[in-house]
Each structure stands twice: as structure tokens, then as C-alpha cells.
């Protein structure tokens, strides 16, 4: 998620769950190929398994980016065919590509030929007045024929004219049954559903129909929602991490980053939701949001905020 799932947010999420697949923010082919790629691609080795999400519509440029992803040892490359923002529409990529499945197929083919990495596609169930039944069927059929075996489907349409990106995550109605039918029509595809999931119970219900669930906003605003994921979903037998242990791990991480010149606020801004819905959460957020942005703030602010929350 743009501006949210940077490497610091992902490092924290990985401490909470070791088995879930994490995704980068969308990186455009232009940014990767025309600026310093390390700025976009560097990550901590603990973040694996990690997918790089690309935004673009040119097979050759996407293929070059996949080569970089392989060089940086990502585990998967995902093509964004779901983002409705104006900037992305001006570049003619993201969700508007749902109208041109042949272009997506050409992109997927070129991306697959560029490395051995799995290439996946994230899409919507349609855009604008596209038919949610036949339009989606045609899209998936064309793109899978190019070799894509995994689709992540945000189970609502994107309305490209008249709605902001935020509204496009809330207003078009969710249609989970449509994604379930897609799995029946394409049983060999790996289909992952996205949109509106807030608990592992809800995810477990979806896993009766589908191969996976992607959680976006809830994992950011309430990261401890993933605390039992390894045990409940993946069958791990180790105990889930508790908040206190997590905060000490993040303190150690923030100290290492601080020594490398990273201001503590860049890490703490992703941690405000760690005490979501539990006593002390407000005090935790207040200390972090008031003190971490100040000049001279050190990683010890995390210990101070935890103390304020728990005493």
C-alpha cells in the first residue's frame, strides 16, 4: 500500500507473522528504471517471503524490472491492475488495464520470460460499466492463457470517473460470491480474495472457497490481527509474539536504523495501531505521535510509550 507498506512497516509485520506473504508498495517501471533502483528495492532479509508490486503497461520495461526483482531476490512479482488513481490512469496502467486484457497478457508473458520468479496479477472484478460476469471471465481467461497462475482479486469494481481512490475502496459494493464463482470456473488457478477483511475468522471462512486472502487496511491499522495467523492458518506450533516482545524487537531494529541515519519517526509512524482496541492504546499513540517527530527523538521513545501505556 502506497506510503504505508514501506520496509519499516513490513519489518514490523514480519515480526508478527513469519508465514504470511508481504507486498511492497506499488513501484512504477518509470521510477525503477530511471532513478536509483536500490531506493525502491532494498529491504531487510527478514522480510521474506516478499513480493514486489509493479505498476506499468510496457512489456519491455516490466521485463527489465522483473530482472531487477530477481537480482534483489524477491520471491514474487505482482502486476497492479487494480489501482484507480488519476495519476495511474494518466499513465494508462493500474485498473484501467482491465479494459485491455491483451495488453496485460503481453506484459505477463514478457515478465515471465525475464526470470524464474512467479508473476501474479492483482485486479478488480471490473471497471466502470464492464460486465462483472463476462468481463471478468474474459480478462482472467486471456491473462491466464499468457501463463499467469495466480490472481489476487479485490472483490469490488473500480469506478474510474467520479470517485477518489479512497472512495473506490469503499463505495463500489463488495461481491465475494463473484470471486467464489471464478474459482469454480478456473479451479486450477490460485485465487486470492481481497477487500474488507478484518479478522482471521473472516479469512478462514474464505479459505473454504479460495486459496488465499489478502488483508490491506486492517493489517496496517491493527497489525496484531496477524498475531495468530501462523498458528491458525499455516499450522505453526510456536507461540504468537506478544506486544511487549514485539516492541523490544522494534526498539532494537530502530536503534540499528538510527545508527544508519534513519529518523525514529519513520519507524514509529507505522506502529501507532499496535495497541488498537486495548487499554493504554491512546497513551501509546499520544507519546509516539507527539514525541517521535521531534528533533533529537531516539528509539527509546518506544520504551517510553510502552511504559506510558502500561503503567
Ligand X SMILES: Cc1cc2nc3c(=O)[nH]c(=O)nc-3n(C[C@H](O)[C@H](O)[C@H](O)COP(=O)(O)O)c2cc1C
| Strands 76-81 and 50-55, bridge-based pairing | parallel
Q: Which of 65, 83, 96, 107 is catalytic?
A: 83
- Which residue among 61, 62, 68, 83 contacts ligand X (CB under 6 A)? 83
Sequence-ordered list of residues with C-beta below 8 angstroms from that of 297, at least 6 positions apart, any chain: 263, 264, 265, 291
Among 194, 206, 257, 268, binds ligand X (CB under 6 A): 194
Three cell numbers written together for 50: 516478499
Nearer to ligand X, 182 or 247 (CB): 182
Based on the residue annotation, tell me whether 83 is a catalytic residue of this protein.
yes
55 or 135: CB nearest ligand X: 55
Neighbours of 237 (CB within 10 A): 6
Stretch that binds ligand X, among 57-65, 178-186, 191-199, 202-210 (CB under 6 A): 191-199
At which residue does the C-alpha cell 499450522 appear?
235
Interface with ligand X, residue 197, by CB under 6 A = yes
Contact map string, positions 17 to 36, toward ligand X, x by CB under 6 A: --------xx----------
By CB under 6 A, tell whether 195 contacts ligand X: yes
Strand 76-81: give its sheet, edge to edge.
22-28, 50-55, 76-81, 119-124, 150-154, 190-194, 212-214
Element containing residue 110 per DSSP (H, E): helix 101-114
Q: Are 230 and 236 in contact (CB under 8 A)?
A: yes
Q: Which of 122, 157, 178, 183 binds ligand X (CB under 6 A)?
A: 122
Site for ligand X in 216-255 (CB under 6 A): 216-218
In terms of Cβ atoms closer than 10 Å to its own Cβ (0-12, 13-18, 19+), residue 236 is middle
Nearest-approach distance from CB 56 to ligand X, in angstroms = 13
Q: Which residues contact 174 (CB under 8 A, 6 or more apart)?
A: 155, 156, 195, 196
> Does 50 contact ligand X by CB under 6 A?
no
Considering only 82, 172, 223, 299, the residue that binds ligand X (CB under 6 A) is: 82
Residues 297, 289 contacting (CB under 8 angstroms): no
- Whichever of 11 and 197 has its CB closer to ligand X, that residue is 197
Among 2, 31, 297, 308, binds ligand X (CB under 6 A): 2
Give residues in contact with ligand X (CB under 6 A). Answer: 1-2, 4, 25-26, 53, 80, 82-83, 122, 154, 169, 194-197, 215-218
User: Which positions are annotated as active-site residues?
Assistant: 83
Amino acid at each position: 500500500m502506497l506510503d504505508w507498506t514501506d520496509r519499516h512497516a513490513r519489518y514490523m509485520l514480519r515480526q508478527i507473522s513469519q508465514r504470511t506473504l508481504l507486498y511492497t508498495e506499488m513501484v512504477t517501471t518509470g521510477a525503477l528504471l530511471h532513478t536509483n533502483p536500490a531506493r525502491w528495492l532494498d529491504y531487510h532479509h527478514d522480510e521474506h517471503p516478499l513480493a514486489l508490486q509493479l505498476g506499468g503497461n510496457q512489456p519491455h520495461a516490466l521485463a527489465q524490472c522483473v530482472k531487477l526483482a530477481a537480482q534483489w531476490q524477491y520471491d514474487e512479482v505482482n502486476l497492479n491492475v487494480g489501482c484507480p488513481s488519476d495519476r495511474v490512469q494518466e499513465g494508462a496502467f493500474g485498473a484501467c488495464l482491465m479494459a485491455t486484457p491483451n495488453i496485460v497478457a503481453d506484459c505477463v508473458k514478457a515478465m515471465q520470460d525475464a526470470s524464474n520468479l512467479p508473476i501474479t496479477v492483482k485486479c478488480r472484478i471490473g471497471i466502470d460499466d464492464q460486465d462483472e460476469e463476462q468481463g471478468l471471465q474474459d480478462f482472467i481467461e486471456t491473462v491466464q492463457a499468457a501463463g499467469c497462475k495466480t490472481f489476487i482479486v479485490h472483490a469490488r469494481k473500480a469506478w474510474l470517473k467520479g470517485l477518489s481512490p479512497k472512495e473506490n475502496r469503499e463505495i463500489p459494493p463488495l461481491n465475494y460470491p463473484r470471486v467464489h464463482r471464478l474459482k469454480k470456473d478456473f479451479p486450477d488457478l490460485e485465487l486470492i480474495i481481497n477487500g474488507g477483511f478484518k479478522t482471521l475468522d473472516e479469512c478462514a471462512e474464505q479459505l473454504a472457497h479460495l486459496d488465499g486472502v489478502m488483508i490491506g487496511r486492517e493489517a496496517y491499522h491493527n497489525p496484531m490481527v496477524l498475531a495468530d495467523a501462523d498458528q491458525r492458518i499455516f499450522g505453526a506450533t510456536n507461540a504468537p509474539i506478544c506486544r511487549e516482545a514485539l516492541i523490544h524487537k522494534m526498539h532494537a531494529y530502530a536503534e540499528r536504523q538510527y545508527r544508519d541515519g534513519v529518523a525514529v519517526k519513520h519507524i514509529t509512524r507505522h506502529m501507532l495501531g499496535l495497541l488498537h482496541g486495548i487499554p493504554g492504546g491512546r497513551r501509546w499513540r499520544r507519546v509516539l505521535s507527539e514525541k517521535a517527530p521531534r528533533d533529537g527523538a531516539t528509539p527509546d521513545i518506544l520504551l517510553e510509550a510502552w511504559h506510558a501505556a502500561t503503567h
